[in-house]
Structures are given as C-alpha cells and as structure tokens.
Amino acid sequence: MNQVLLIGNSAIEDTLSFKLNNDSSIENIFICPGNGGSFTKKKSINIELNLKSRKEIEQFLSKNRILYVLNSSYNKMTEDLYEVCKQKNIPIIGISYDKIKFFNSRILIREFLKKYNIPSFEYEIIDSLKSLKEYSKNLISKKILHTDYQKGFKGIYVLESRGQAMKLIDILKPGLKEDSRFIIEPYNKYEEYTAIIAYDTSSYLLFPVLRSYPKAFDNDYGLYTSGMGAFAPLNSFTDEDIKFLKEKIIEPVLSGLNTEKYTYSGFLTFHILKHANEIKCLTLTPSFTSPEIETISTLVSASFNELFLSLINKKIKEYNLLLNDMYSVSVVLASKGYPLDVQKGILIAGIEKSFENIEIFHNKTLMIFYSKYRGYITNGGRILTINCTSESLENSRKLIYNILDRGEIFFDGNFYRTDIAEKYCNLKAKQSIEAD
C-alpha cells in the first residue's frame, strides 16, 4: 500500500493530488490541511494534523504507510515533522525547516545572487520603516519596492510619486514592524517569466519555462500578486534564452547553494525578468509556484510519482519528462479586494461542471454541506485556477474565456485578467526544452 502525505492547502497541493490520483501505484493521498479540491478526487483525503506535535505526527505515520512527504508549501514545515520523518526514515521532498529563513528573505537572496555574479538588478537596502518614510519623502523618480519577506511576486510595489509612496506605506504599515527591511531598485519594464527545476542535489531537470502574470489587472495594472495567470510553451523564450538561463543563472545558483549548504532534493522556482535579449533573476522560491504548476501539470504526460521517486533516489537524470504537443493556459479567479483584504465564505457556482479540455484547480476553497447538498465557498484571495490545454494557444484562451465571460464558473465579487497570453497568439514558434 503506497500512500503519500502532501503539506499545504493551496492549488499546488490540489494539482499534485490531481497528478497522483492518475497513478495506479498510489492508493491514498493525504493532504494536511488540504482544501475543497480534495473532495473532487477519489484518492485524496484532507487531514487535520498538528505539525508541531511529535506525538500526533508519530501516531499518524505509524498508522499509515507513507511512501514520502511532499513539502510544497514550505513555510508549513516544522522541526517536529522533519525530525519524526528522519527518525522513521520517511523521505521529505523539499527544504528542511532550517533553510526556510534564507528563502523567505529577498535581501538574503539578492545578496546571494550578487555574491555569485548571477544577473540581477542593482538595489539598495532600506533598514527600517522610518527610513522608508524618509526615502519616500525625497522620491524623485519611479522605483520598485520589495518587502524583505517574500512570497513570489507578492510584496512588490511600484513607487510612482512621493504622495503615492506615502499612501502605500500607510496601507502596508499594519502588517509591518518598525525594523522591517526593504529593497529599492530602479523601475523596469521587463516581462515576468518563471522557470522551475527538479533538483536532487547533483543533477536537475528543467520544466517548460512559463510566461507569468503577477499584476492583478489587465495590461499589468494594479498591485503585484502571487500570480493571476500563466501559459506554456513559449514563443518569446528562445533556445538561446534557455542556454543563457542554464549557464548564467540556474547552474551558478545551484553551485552557490551547494557552497552555502542550502541544497535539498525538491523543486526550485526561478522568478526571472526578460527585456529584449536581457534576462535577469529576481528571486528564488524553494518549491513549485501557482499558477505555474497547474499550467505545467497538464503538459506533462509522465508520472509525477516517478518524478518524486527519482528525486528521492537521486536519479533525476534518468526521469523521462514526457510532454504532450499542446498549449496550456491558466487563468486565476480571485476574490474582490485581492491582494489586500477579501471577504470569505462566498458560495461558488459551476465548480462541479465538466468542460471540454478544462481542469479546475482549487486554491483557497472550503467544501460545505447545506440542506442535502454539497457546495464550495471561498476561503481567501485566489480561489480557483482554470486551466485549458488544446492544440493552439488561441483555442486554449478561447475555451477558458468562453466559460468565464459567460459566468459558468462564478462567485460574487470574482475577477480575473482577460489578457493572459493574448499578445502571443500570433507567434507560432515553440521553445525547445532540453533536460539536463
């Protein structure tokens, strides 16, 4: 009996559960704590498990034969879970608790990129909220502000003017401390891309590079979010770009992580920016990111269980990354107010319908019972990822937006970007992917 444990309650876990449900060798997929998506998948089971209680963890692992633990929501990793799994010889895919501090800090990552000569942006560090206010009072040109604590692109803001910067600080202040630190860099007009690798501490495998859309609204307006859409394969990321990405960014990063003793077996996401032929690394995330993993998952024909076992056995070079000849587009359906304050508990309509070539991945949802029926409600900012794969980029977009524009999947106050992949539809050349 092969059973696995996924840690998290996001679209990442729902996507990995979706892939593992299709694997005949896996019997049960436990997800702690999971979300509403688990109720749409036969083998998926949400569980309540206190990850800071060794007793509870030991009881659960003793009762269930767990093949491996997949720590994709890395901030939920605890010392207790790590130590119990180590004691019971149960592999954990993902970083250990002692490495989280590095990956949670944009400043530490930027210093790392600078130390190892990895292409990034010039920056300065602001070491307190008071200093940020003083800096904003003297702002003379457009800048980009990064909070030190990172979650993908979330926590990045454009400083347009002195007045706007001061208002932004007032909005952010309740969630900041007086000794909070920040990065300031010149404003840029680069496009956002995401590259994800599977890494077993000696070799790596590069998944298709994705075009990502972190801004909340069409035409890149609004605040940065954790992601509002993505698509792959690309026609704007060439073979030469892939070569540069590997030689100048991925491999130096892996070498540096090894030197600094930050290596682990798992997944590493590179948030990269591109303008013309210039490519720079913005930051790193030690796991899959969303909606990128949803977009990739429907392109990969090979077993994800075999992928995870390849990481555990340090045989990632032997894993055959089979990709179908399709175009994958993902659009995120978010709650009104996101990425700031949102209302929860809103009933979602149309979520259990079946649509041609469409997969619906749950993010912040809960399943509830009302009367004699079952339904789903919102439980955060990004609620669903609607993904479509078809033979063309144009058709994938069309199928998704036909559903969303007609309100076939709907909840009160929902919004989504209408321009995902729009300007790329007339470019036909696909990128090629070579696995290392």
Domain ranges of the chain: 3-97, 122-186, 191-424
| Residue 426 scores a pLDDT above 80 | no
Residue 114: which pLDDT band, with cuts at 50, 70 and 90?
very high
Residue 425: both structure tokens together: 């539809």
Whole-number pLDDT of residue 152: 66
SS3 246: helix
Whole-number pLDDT of residue 427: 56
Closest CA to 293 of 224, 216, 226: 226
The CA distance from 278 to 321, in Å, is 28
Give 373 or 27, the one with higher predicted confidence.
Answer: 27
| Residue 432 scores a pLDDT above 80 | no
CB atoms within 10 A of CB 104: 17
Per the CB < 8 A criterion, the answer to whether 419 and 404 are in contact is no
Beta bridge partners of 315: none
Residue 124: which pLDDT band, with cuts at 50, 70 and 90?
very high
Give the mean model confidence (pLDDT) for residues 168-180.
88
Radius of gyration of the chain (CA): 21
At the topology level, CATH places domain 3-97 in Rossmann fold (3.40.50)
| Residue 205 scores a pLDDT above 70 | yes
| Residue 335 scores a pLDDT above 70 | yes
CATH top-level class for 191-424? alpha beta
The CA distance from 30 to 21, in Å, is 11
Show the beta-strand stretches assigned E in 207-326: 210-212, 215-217, 221-224, 229-232, 266-275, 278-285
CB half-sphere exposure, 211, CA atoms < 13 A: 26
| Residue 436 scores a pLDDT above 60 | no
Place of tokens 């952010």: 172
The CA distance from 52 to 35, in Å, is 20
Q: How is residue 429 annotated by DSSP?
A: P
β-strand pairing of 327-334 with 66-70: unpaired
Whole-number pLDDT of residue 148: 94
173 Cα distance to chain centroid: 26
Q: At 292, which helix (H) or strand (E)?
A: helix 292-297
| Order of all β-strands in the sheet with 373-378 | 347-348, 373-378, 365-370
| Residue 406 scores a pLDDT above 60 | yes
| Residue 296 scores a pLDDT above 50 | yes
CATH of 122-186, one of 3.30.1490.20, 3.60.20.10, 2.40.50.360, 3.20.20.140: 3.30.1490.20
CB half-sphere exposure, 159, CA atoms < 13 A: 26
